[in-house]
Amino acid sequence: MSTTAVKNTTAKGVTPKPGGLARSRRNEALGLVIPTLIPILALSVIPLFIGVATAFTDSRLARHHETQFIGFENFIKLGSDTQFWQSFGIGMIWAVTVTALQLIGGLSLALLLNTDLRFRGITRVLALIPWAMPPVVVAVMWQMIYSPTNGPLNWLIESLGGPENINWLGDFGLALPAVILVGVWVGMPQNTVVLLAGLQQVPGELLEAAAVDGASTWRRFVSVTLPALRPVIFSIASLSFIWNFNSFGIVYVMTEGGPGGRTMLPMLFTYLEAFKSRNTGGAAAMGDVIVIFLIVILVIALWRQLRPERSPR
């Protein structure tokens, strides 16, 4: 074989075909994505479609019940269900208040932990403890704190000369603020961690330049830190609102929606409709309404976050 023929053979063996390389990369990507997609499809997407389809039926948790397609009847009934819309309003008060207080508290704690605080490592670990506790444990612990007979909160108030035997979770006016406080306490560490990560990305040069120009601490926070944190704040606020609106476990364990429905959140109302009233078709319609509402909130949040900023004229 001549020298030229050998060179041509070697070149053909080493140089990959462009189409074969692209196909190989595509197969590798599919091999990584498919194992991730399977549980999402099986545990999230398919149940979501089943829930949407159930809302158009008269499905009930009953033996020998033949499910029939009834069109939009469940949604028409839901439109005049005042108890559901009342729970929706309570859910909005709960989600907006808890999200705002979590954000303010988380930002304050993150600013504190971002300083040269003594025992900063231990403080950061302690700040994360509420996040590590299961919701049921948190709810039982706060039930004991709020106990009207032997709770430490009432003991403290009585020791300071305040009123006796306050029924925090049984009073119509106190129950919702009491569970809101628990929601803020348990969700604040998550906001703190995200905002602390954002604070550590704020360029130190900008803060130093502002200090050299004579800007006060508050001015540096308003003019440098807050604008740099804006994408992080917007993202964590949007996600916290969705998570809080879907809250269930803490309120269910603490009050079961009482007293008199004062803490009846939409997800709790839907659960009771499905498993106590056994009206799974109506509960699915409620779930669809909640999902559509949250999708609208998410789309608005993403649109505001991703839209291009207008250039100054």
Q: What is the pLDDT of residues 104-137, one digit of tens each?
A: 999 998 998 888 777 777 877 787 788 888 888 9
Output DSSP code: residue 310. P
Tell me the pLDDT band of 28, cut-offs 50, 70 and 90: confident
- Residue 61's closest CA among 306, 284, 231? 284
Residue of higher predicted confidence among 91 and 33: 91
- Contact residues for 155 (Cβ-Cβ < 8 A; gap 6+): none
CB atoms inside a 10 Å sphere around CB 194: 19
pLDDT higher than threshold 60 for residue 283:
yes
97 contacts 237 by C-beta, under 8 angstroms: no
Residue whose tokens read 């079961």: 256
Mean pLDDT computed over 173-199: 92
99 contacts 237 by C-beta, under 8 angstroms: yes
The per-residue pLDDT for 191 is: 92
Mean pLDDT computed over 296-311: 74
Residue 178: burial class (beta carbons within 10 Å; 0-12, 13-18, 19+): buried
99 contacts 241 by C-beta, under 8 angstroms: yes
Domain spans in the chain, listed from the N-terminal domain onward: 82-306
Q: What percent of the chain has pLDDT over 90?
A: 45
**How far is 37 from 43, CA to CA, in rounded Å?**
10
Beta strands in 15-73 (DSSP E): none
The per-residue pLDDT for 25 is: 83
**How far is 251 from 101, CA to CA, in rounded Å?**
17
pLDDT higher than threshold 90 for residue 24:
no
The per-residue pLDDT for 2 is: 47
The per-residue pLDDT for 268 is: 92
**How far is 221 from 114, CA to CA, in rounded Å?**
13
Q: ∠ at Cα 113 (111, 114), nearest 5°?
A: 65
The per-residue pLDDT for 310 is: 58
pLDDT higher than threshold 50 for residue 10:
no
CATH level 3 topology of 82-306:
MetI-like fold (1.10.3720)
**How far is 260 from 250, CA to CA, in rounded Å?**
17
Average pLDDT, the chain: 86
Tell me the pLDDT band of 309, cut-offs 50, 70 and 90: low
